[in-house]
C-alpha cells in the first residue's frame, strides 16, 4: 500500500550517494513529492512501537521542504549524508505501516482459542487480514485468508476436551476421526449441530464456503467462473467477525 513511497525514498537515497550538480537537482525534484505522500499517512496506522519514529522521520523530511511544495536550495557542496540516512530510516519505518484506518480496526485477543500455538497463528493472520490485505482491496486473498482463519477457529473449538466427543458423535461428522482432515463445510455443519454456533450463523457463511473452496484452488476458480470482488470479501470477513463475536 505504501510501497510506492518506499520506492520514492529509495530513489532519493540513490541520488544522495554521490554529490554532484545533476544529483542535487534530482533530489530537489523528488523531496517535495515524498513529503506530500508522508503527510497523507496517519501515525496511528503504524504499529505502536514505530509511531514515534515515523513522526520524527516525517518532521525531518519536512525540514527540507519548508514552504510545503518547494525545497530549500541545495548545492553540490551540501552534505547529503543526513538526507541519505533519513531516506533509509523512512524506508524502514514504512514497513511498520498497517494500512489506512487500521488503528480503528477492532483488536481481538482470541482468548477462546484453547491451543496456544494455534492462537498465535490465528492472531497473526487476523492482523494481516484486517490491517493489510482487506484494506488494500485484495479481495481474493481476503476471502481465502478469512476462510482459513475461520477453519482454524472451528477446528480448535471442535478439538477442545468439552466438544471433541460431541463433534465425533455428530451425524455430520465424516468417518475420518481426524478433524484436521475435515473441510470447512464439515466444520461448520458439525459446529452448528452441537451448538457452538447458531443455525442462522451457519447459513450465513454458505457463501464463504463456496468462495473459499473455489478460490483456494485455481482450477476450481476457472471452472466456477464466479468473480471474486469486494462483495465476496466483505461477506467473508463479516462471517468471520460474526463467529468470533459468538465465541467471545
Single residue among 52, 74, 96 that ends a domain in this structure: 96
Which of 96, 129, 152 terminates a domain? The answer is: 96
Domain stops at, among 96, 128, 145? 96
Domain match, 91 and 53 both: yes
Instruction: Give the pLDDT confidence score for residue 79 in this predicted structure.
Output: 63
Residue 115 and residue 84 in one domain: no
Q: What is the pLDDT of residues 136-194, one digit of tens each?
A: 888 889 988 998 999 999 999 998 888 888 988 888 888 766 767 788 888 888 988 99
The domain of 242 spans 105-247
Indicate if 205 and 137 belong to the same structural domain: yes
Q: Are 133 and 225 members of one domain?
A: yes
- What does each C-alpha distance from 188 to 150, 160, 172, 179 come to in angstroms? 9, 15, 10, 12
Q: What pLDDT is attached to residue 222? A: 67
Q: What is the pLDDT of residue 210?
A: 62
Q: Are 87 and 124 part of one and the same domain?
A: no
> In terms of domains, do 111 and 175 share one?
yes
Identify the CATH number of the domain in which residue 110 sits.
1.20.120
Using CA atoms in the order 130, 131, 133, 135, what is the torsion angle rounded to 10 degrees? 90
Question: Do 127 and 236 sit in the same domain of this protein?
Answer: yes
Per-residue pLDDT of the chain in tens (248 residues, 90 and over written 9): 688 999 999 999 999 888 788 888 888 889 999 999 999 999 988 888 889 999 999 999 998 886 644 545 554 446 688 899 999 999 999 988 877 776 656 678 899 999 999 999 999 899 888 878 887 888 889 988 998 999 999 999 998 888 888 988 888 888 766 767 788 888 888 988 998 887 777 777 766 666 666 677 777 666 766 677 788 888 888 888 888 988 88
Same-domain status, 144 and 230:
yes
For the chain, the domain total comes to: 2
Query: In terms of Cα–Cα distance, which of 170, 174, 115, 122 is closest to 148?
Result: 122
Asked if 157 and 243 count as a contact pair (C-beta separation under 8 A), the reply is: no
Residues 117 and 223 in one domain: yes
Cβ partners under 8 Å of residue 28, min gap 6: 71, 74
| CB 34, CB 15: distance < 8 Å | no
- Do 149 and 183 have their domain in common? yes
User: Can you read off the three cell numbers belonging to residue 51?
Assistant: 509511531
Specify whether 89 is located in the same domain as 110.
no
Claim to verify: residue 192 and residue 234 sit in the same structural domain: yes
- Nearest by Cα to 189 from 201, 181, 177: 201
Amino acid at each position: 500500500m505504501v510501497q510506492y513511497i518506499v520506492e520514492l525514498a529509495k530513489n532519493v537515497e540513490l541520488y544522495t550517494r554521490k554529490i554532484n550538480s545533476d544529483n542535487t537537482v534530482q533530489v530537489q525534484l523528488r523531496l517535495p513529492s515524498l513529503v506530500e505522500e508522508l503527510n497523507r499517512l496517519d501515525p496511528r496506522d503504524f504499529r505502536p512501537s514505530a509511531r514515534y519514529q515515523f513522526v520524527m522521520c516525517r518532521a525531518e523530511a519536512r525540514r527540507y521542504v519548508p514552504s510545503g511544495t518547494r525545497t530549500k536550495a541545495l548545492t553540490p557542496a551540501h552534505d547529503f549524508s543526513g538526507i541519505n540516512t533519513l531516506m533509509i530510516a523512512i524506508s524502514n519505518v514504512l514497513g511498520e505501516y498497517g494500512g489506512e484506518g487500521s488503528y480503528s480496526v477492532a483488536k481481538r485477543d482470541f482468548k477462546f482459542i484453547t491451543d496456544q500455538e494455534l492462537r498465535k497463528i490465528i492472531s497473526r493472520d487476523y492482523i494481516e487480514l484486517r490491517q493489510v490485505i482487506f484494506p488494500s482491496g485484495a479481495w481474493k486473498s481476503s476471502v481465502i485468508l478469512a476462510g482459513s482463519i475461520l477453519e482454524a477457529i472451528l477446528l480448535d473449538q471442535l478439538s477442545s476436551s468439552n466438544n471433541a466427543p460431541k463433534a465425533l458423535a455428530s451425524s455430520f461428522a465424516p468417518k475420518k476421526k481426524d478433524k484436521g482432515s475435515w473441510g470447512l463445510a464439515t466444520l461448520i455443519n458439525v459446529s452448528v449441530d452441537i451448538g457452538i454456533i447458531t443455525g442462522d450463523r451457519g447459513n450465513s457463511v454458505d457463501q464463504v464456503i463456496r468462495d473459499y473452496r473455489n478460490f483456494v484452488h485455481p482450477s476450481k476458480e476457472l471452472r466456477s467462473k464466479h468473480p471474486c470482488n469486494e462483495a465476496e470479501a466483505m461477506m467473508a470477513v463479516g462471517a468471520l467477525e460474526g463467529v468470533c463475536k459468538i465465541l467471545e
